C-alpha cells in the first residue's frame, strides 16, 4: 500500500480541490489542498448579464523552505485543449496570485505578482497575456468551434516539476526592497531558451523530488 507525504504546494481557490501523487500507480486526494499536482477545476470569464463578466482569481503557495519549479497550464472546457502554459518559479514560502479576465474575443491572464515566470505574464490589466487557439485550429482542428470565445471557460493544472537549490534557487529568490523582485528572472529565461535547465546544468540544477 502506498503512503503519501505532506506535499509542497498549496491550492487557494474557492471550491477547488487538489491531487497529491505519490507514485505512478496511485493518486490520492488531499483534503488540505496540498499536492504535487493542483487542479483548479473551473475558471470562467463568461457574462451572466451584459457587461458584468466573471473574473477567476488564482493563488498557489509554496509551503516549503525550498524553491520550486512548476508548470502552469490553462485548458479550455470543450475538449481540454491547451490555451496557455508557462513555467513558474516560486522561492521558499512564496505565494503567486493571478486573475483570468475577459478580453474582447476570449480570455487572458494578468498578475500583480513579481514571482519569476517563463514566459512573461502581463502585469497590465488593460493588456493581459492573451489565451490562444493554436491547439484546436489548423492541423489540430476538432469538431468544436475554432474561435477564442472557447477560451472563456476551462480549468487549470499546476504541476510541480522539481525542487531548485543552490545557484538556481538564488536566481528566483526575492531580493529585499520594494517591490520584492527575484534576483535574476531574465537569466532564468535565458537558460530555459538555451535548453540548459536540465539536472546537469551548472546554473539551474533541478531535482524532481516531489517533496
| Helix (H) or strand (E) segment spanning residue 116 | strand 116-118
| Three-point CA angle 53, 58, 64, nearest 5° | 175
The reply to whether 67 falls in a domain is: yes
pLDDT tens by residue, 70-109:
999 999 999 999 999 999 999 999 999 999 999 999 999 9
What does the pLDDT read at residue 8? 52
pLDDT tens by residue, 99-138:
999 999 999 999 999 999 999 999 999 999 999 999 999 9
The reply to whether 203 falls in a domain is: yes
Average pLDDT, the chain: 82
Q: Reply yes or no on whether the pLDDT at 198 is more than 70.
A: no
The grid coordinates of residue 195 equal: 535548453
Q: Backbone phi, then psi, for 149, in 5-degree steps?
A: -55, -30
Predicted structure pTM score:
0.80
Q: What is the DSSP string of 159-191?
A: EEEEEE-HHHHHHHSBPSSSS--BS-HHHHHHH
What does the pLDDT read at residue 194? 80
Distance CA 102, CA 107 (A): 4
The reply to whether 153 falls in a domain is: yes
pLDDT > 90 in the chain, percent? 62
The reply to whether 183 falls in a domain is: yes
The reply to whether 192 falls in a domain is: yes
Q: Backbone phi, then psi, for 104, in 5-degree steps?
A: -60, -35
The reply to whether 1 falls in a domain is: no
* Containing structural domain, residue 135: 9-207
Cβ–Cβ < 8 Å for 74, 93:
no
Look at the chain and report how many structural domains it folds into: 1
Peptide bond connecting 179 to the previous residue in cis, omega within 30 degrees of 0: yes
Give the three-class secondary structure for 150. Answer: helix
The reply to whether 88 falls in a domain is: yes
- Parallel, antiparallel, or unpaired: how do β-strands 153-164 and 206-207 relate? antiparallel
Cβ–Cβ < 8 Å for 117, 35:
no
What does the pLDDT read at residue 16? 33
The reply to whether 145 falls in a domain is: yes
Amino acid at each position: 500500500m502506498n503512503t503519501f507525504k505532506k506535499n509542497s504546494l498549496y491550492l487557494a481557490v474557492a471550491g477547488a480541490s487538489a491531487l497529491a501523487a505519490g507514485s505512478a500507480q496511485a493518486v490520492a486526494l488531499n483534503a488540505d489542498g496540498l499536492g504535487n499536482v493542483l487542479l483548479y477545476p473551473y475558471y470562467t470569464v463568461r457574462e451572466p448579464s451584459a457587461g458584468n463578466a466573471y473574473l477567476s482569481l488564482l493563488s498557489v503557495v509554496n509551503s516549503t523552505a525550498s524553491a520550486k519549479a512548476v508548470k502552469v497550464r490553462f485548458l479550455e472546457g470543450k475538449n481540454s485543449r491547451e490555451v496557455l502554459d508557462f513555467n513558474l518559479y516560486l522561492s521558499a514560502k512564496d505565494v503567486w496570485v493571478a486573475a483570468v479576465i475577459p478580453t474582447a474575443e476570449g480570455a487572458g491572464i494578468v498578475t500583480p505578482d513579481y514571482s519569476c515566470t517563463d514566459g512573461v505574464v502581463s502585469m497590465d490589466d488593460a493588456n493581459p497575456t492573451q489565451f490562444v487557439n493554436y491547439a484546436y485550429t489548423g492541423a489540430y482542428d476538432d469538431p468544436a468551434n475554432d474561435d477564442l470565445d472557447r477560451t472563456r471557460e476551462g480549468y487549470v493544472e499546476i504541476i510541480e516539476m522539481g525542487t531548485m537549490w543552490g545557484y538556481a534557487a538564488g536566481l528566483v529568490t526575492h531580493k529585499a526592497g520594494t517591490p520584492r523582485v527575484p534576483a535574476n528572472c531574465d537569466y532564468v529565461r535565458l537558460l530555459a531558451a538555451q535548453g540548459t535547465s536540465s539536472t546537469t546544468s551548472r546554473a539551474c540544477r533541478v531535482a524532481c523530488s516531489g517533496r
